[in-house]
Amino acid sequence: MHKKDIIFFRLIIPELLMILLIIMPFSVQAVDYEYIQLKDYMNMNIDGVVQQGDTSQTPLDHAGNCFLTEEFAKAKGDDDPKGLPGDRSVSISGRTIEFADYDSNNAIQITGPVKTEGSSSWSNYAHFDINLPDGVYEDIWVAATSGSASSQFHLYYEYGSSYVQTYNAFIPDWSGTSTSYNTTNHFLLIKNMDMASYNGAFYDENNRNLFYFKYNDVQTSKSLTGLRIHAHPDSDGGRTTFFGGVAKRYCPPEITSINPESARIGEKIVIKGKHFINGAHEVNKVTIGNASMEFTVKSATEIEVTIATSSGKVKIFSKTGEDVDGPYFTLDDSPPEETYIYYTKEGNRIVDTSDQTYIEKMAVKREHIVGDVTSVEYALIIEEADATGAGSFENFGNPSPEAGKHWISENTSVDIHIDPVVEDAFKTNVQYFVRTYKLSSANGGAWSGYNHTLPTSGNFSVYMSCPKKSILTGFNNFLFRSAQCLRRWEIIFLFLLMMAVVRQVIPAAGNGGMMKGPT
């Protein structure tokens, strides 16, 4: 390769990689579709299709004409039946349009007033609703025909509480030639079908056409909540009749399982399923019962949920639809399992946790495990001081927390109090003044520390970054006597001293006001 070519590739490849990194996050996700049959959401009001033995059909138009089924056409000995298929469906252009049961009402014909008197607005024409399941739709195909003459209709998309009108659809007379109907939005579904009229006896009327109409302008950024069809005849009185159709819908999210089916508040569960991400849409709400949960959509098949509160069915929601019949989740409100793992000051784990005496003596660190939450605690050891030299006595200085071992959460501060003046519980008239304390830490398998001056208040704080030990170290001994312990001669001396004071004070009261004696 030429040197210039090498330089070119070295320059251009990093630029291309950078462009790819920018474009990739915005790439369009694949879309999975399902097909919704409109007939399942239409309130049929006439028999538009007749089969053998059926004499109860309502007229499709003013002449009483009805479509025949293929079976009925064959039963009549027709050599070339062109009726509706016996399986009640027609496949065309990759879609299948199903027809309602031929034994009951299987079409809709708008009845009542054509439109409000004096108004030319489409919204005032007679209409009916197709209550499709909420979701994101890509297109709608409607199957219809117009008996005896042409007619028109408008399809309205319902997005929440508002309707968006589509273009006006022209429905040709069902008896026209097939070549004239391949326009941009309406196409022949079935042509040259056999017809029949019930007027005491059946007779044939051939070459009738059924059409389908494509609507490709559905807004895929919104959730469609319904359809409304407004229809009216042309001036020559054609009747519009609808047989159903098919809607191409983004597959809604679907739950297949949850794991686990019971957990505590704060714990996580995983929802498994499909279509959690579909195209540009993904699940935007998760509830258990009626309570909303925090969640993360991990993929099109997995959602991670943090349990907040309550039991109930798991439900998920998206613009593409919802699944409100998920598995039942049970909130575990029993006390969580609590365990401890102990360590010595050398950092060795104490395996045998049954010997509590050994643990009390040797353990300086422990892991406190509650459910799946682990916290670390360190030992705070407050040791009794030997103030008298003759051995320690209980709770010298009334320490708070009291003497012994206390488990404290790591990285927290503990306030400690020691009485700065302590009376000897065994020696009368003896007090001790606490001057210093030693604070040690367990580092590298040994206790190490240094003395601190005890504040006058006796209060100090210990930060638990590791195991700590506090020992009183410095004392002053003060001996005093109470009145009960004075010797007899000390009492007599104090009495005479007091009387002498009194004697000096009384004469002073008589001269100049001093008191005089007899002369």
pLDDT band, very low/low/confident/very high, at 146 (cuts 50, 70, 90)? confident
Provide the token pair at 495.
Answer: 């009495």
pLDDT band, very low/low/confident/very high, at 337 (cuts 50, 70, 90)? confident
Q: What letter does residue 384 receive in the DSSP assignment?
A: P
Whole-number Å distance between alpha carbons of 290 and 276: 20
pLDDT band, very low/low/confident/very high, at 237 (cuts 50, 70, 90)? low
| Strand 291-292 versus strand 254-259 pairing type | unpaired
Whole-number Å distance between alpha carbons of 317 and 223: 11
Provide the token pair at 367.
Answer: 């892991």
pLDDT surpasses 60 at 27: no
User: Are 33-250 and 254-331 in the same CATH fold?
Assistant: no
| For the chain, domain boundaries | 33-250, 254-331, 339-479, 487-519
Q: Tell me the whole-structure pTM to 2 decimals.
A: 0.64
Whole-number Å distance between alpha carbons of 495 and 445: 66
pLDDT surpasses 60 at 258: yes
pLDDT band, very low/low/confident/very high, at 517 (cuts 50, 70, 90)? very low
Torsion from C-alpha of 111, 115, 116, 118, nearest 10 degrees: -150
Instruction: Look at the chain and count its residues.
Output: 519
Q: CATH code for 254-331?
A: 2.60.40.10
Looking at domain 33-250, its CATH class is mainly beta
Between 427 and 276, the more confident residue is 276
- Per-residue pLDDT at 62: 61
Between 515 and 414, the more confident residue is 414
Query: Torsions phi, psi of 399, nearest 5?
Result: -65, 145
DSSP annotation string for 49-107? EE-TT---PPPSSTT-EEEEBHHHHHHTT-SS--SB-TTSEEEETTEEEE---TTS--B
Report percent pLDDT > 90 for the chain: 37
Whole-number Å distance between alpha carbons of 34 and 135: 11
Of 203-212, 242-251, 283-292, 437-446, the poorest mean pLDDT is in: 203-212
Cβ neighbours, 10 Å, residue 457:
9
Of 10-24, 40-54, 84-98, 299-313, the poorest mean pLDDT is in: 10-24
